[in-house]
Chains A and B, each alone.
Chain A
């Protein structure tokens, strides 16, 4: 890719809209061409400055307070006798369907939900504690590097389960290093870096870890990551391809969601 081509794709690159092959080619060009790297940086800085300025808002809090009160005060009409009868019929049908479903399926869903709450808690507690350890220096960072390609290569050599490409700078994740560490009964790969200046850790486990944390695979079968808070930390949990991914940091929810959604979006480098 030459300079003209790379700069043509700046909008797609900055907005994280291109495919993984495009990002790889552009990043490779930027690593070799400092004028283009400078050009990209100036463009990005300008866009971020404009964006920050555009987001400034002087709307009075009282306006929103009044709007919220309106929502809470919107009356609902009393149901007519016909509506009540219809509602009762619907409830009866639902109860019958539920009874049939319970006969067909087992075990008790309450037990499974209880398990989910407990083990979901332990997965997130582990992630939070390890993030704290990495932050405080109690856990050394194994491999220090600011290159996404280098840390990916390091993890491929070190771990014995598939690991995909880390999130990129264009989604706001600036990598500082990587490594592996014990994560409950397993071993996890981790990435450390910054999002909006705040330290963030990303833990990557093999998807079969579902069983070790007593989770059902369908629990993570969602298009959106799960969001949780533990103390001051925000967490995002997701399953992607053959990994469970946990992102921990003190940032706002939206930047962390961008980071976890970007995991693995380069073309696949994982081992067989």
Chain B
């Protein structure tokens, strides 16, 4: 039976490569950024307490993110007093209309990488925080956690089709916000939209 120090050491070895992504995910998901240290602390403490149930060689990353997500839901629920996930109806599986809407101005992105970087530096945080909770969660699990669709569906207990739809929708929303922002800046600076 492993002693305490080897269990702690083993747990920390698994945890260390994921610290940056766990913190980035928590920061983006929490309604109050001041809760990040507490959420991380609770997550790690709870996960370590259950580490004996973790099977070596299985997906530690998904396992710890599931714990983190649970803590985030608790903290957000306490902060707002509301249910975290949307109660909206199941999303459409085809949301091509959003892609068609942005297609017209999409080519402007090809020549606006400076604007894109400015947007990412200044406005991406707010844009992501304005996404519906479920879409934000899935987008961040994909972008920060680099989870596959099946893993995200297991972490969130959602069907894979729903994960795909929400992810596609959230990306389309961000692109729309980005293109609108670029268009506004160009108008302000007196340029024509391409």
The finding on whether chains A and B are genuine partners in a shared complex, rather than unrelated, reads: yes
**A residues neighboring B (CB under 8 Å):** 7-8, 11-12, 15, 17, 38-39, 42, 45-47, 49-60, 63-64, 66-68, 70-72, 74-76, 87, 222-224, 253-254
Quick one: closest B residue to A68, CB to CB?
A: B12
When the two chains form their complex, are residues A224 and B116 in contact, meaning their CB atoms are under 8 A apart? no
When the two chains form their complex, are residues A64 and B171 in contact, meaning their CB atoms are under 8 A apart? no
Give the total of B residues in contact with A, Cβ under 8 Å.
50
Q: Which of A7, A8, A46, A54 contacts B24 (CB 8 A)?
A: A54
When the two chains form their complex, are residues B44 and A11 in contact, meaning their CB atoms are under 8 A apart? no
When the two chains form their complex, are residues B120 and A50 in contact, meaning their CB atoms are under 8 A apart? yes
Q: Which B residues are in CB contact (< 8 Å) with A42?
A: 106, 109-110
When the two chains form their complex, are residues B40 and A63 in contact, meaning their CB atoms are under 8 A apart? yes
Contact of B73 with A by CB under 8 A: no
Nearest first, the 5 A-B pairs at minimum CB distance are A59-B23, A53-B120, A57-B24, A51-B143, A76-B4
Q: In the assembly, what is the distance between CA of A59 and CA of B39, in Å?
A: 12
20 contacts between A and B (CB under 8 A): A7-B99, A11-B167, A11-B171, A46-B116, A46-B175, A52-B120, A53-B120, A54-B140, A55-B20, A57-B24, A58-B27, A59-B24, A59-B36, A68-B12, A68-B15, A70-B41, A70-B45, A71-B12, A222-B57, A253-B17
Q: Which B residues are in CB contact (< 8 Å) with A8?
A: 96
Q: Which of A15, A49, A254 contacts B117 (CB 8 A)?
A: A49
Q: Which A residues are in CB contact (< 8 Å) with B1?
A: 87
- For residue B15, give the distance in angstroms from its CB to the closest CB of chain A: 8
**B residues neighboring A (CB under 8 Å):** 1, 4-5, 8, 11-12, 15, 17, 19-21, 23-24, 27-28, 36-37, 40-41, 44-45, 48-49, 57, 96, 99, 106, 109-110, 113, 116-117, 120-121, 124, 128, 140, 142-144, 146, 148-149, 164, 167-168, 171, 174-175, 178
Q: Which A residues are in CB contact (< 8 Å) with B11?
A: 71
Q: Which of B24, B36, B41 contacts A56 (CB 8 A)?
A: B24
Number of A-B contacts (CB under 8 A): 105
When the two chains form their complex, are residues A71 and B149 in contact, meaning their CB atoms are under 8 A apart? no
When the two chains form their complex, are residues B148 and A71 in contact, meaning their CB atoms are under 8 A apart? no
Q: In the assembly, what is the distance between CA of A5 and CA of B164, in Å?
A: 17
- For residue B17, give the distance in angstroms from its CB to the closest CB of chain A: 7
- For residue B130, give the distance in angstroms from its CB to the closest CB of chain A: 14
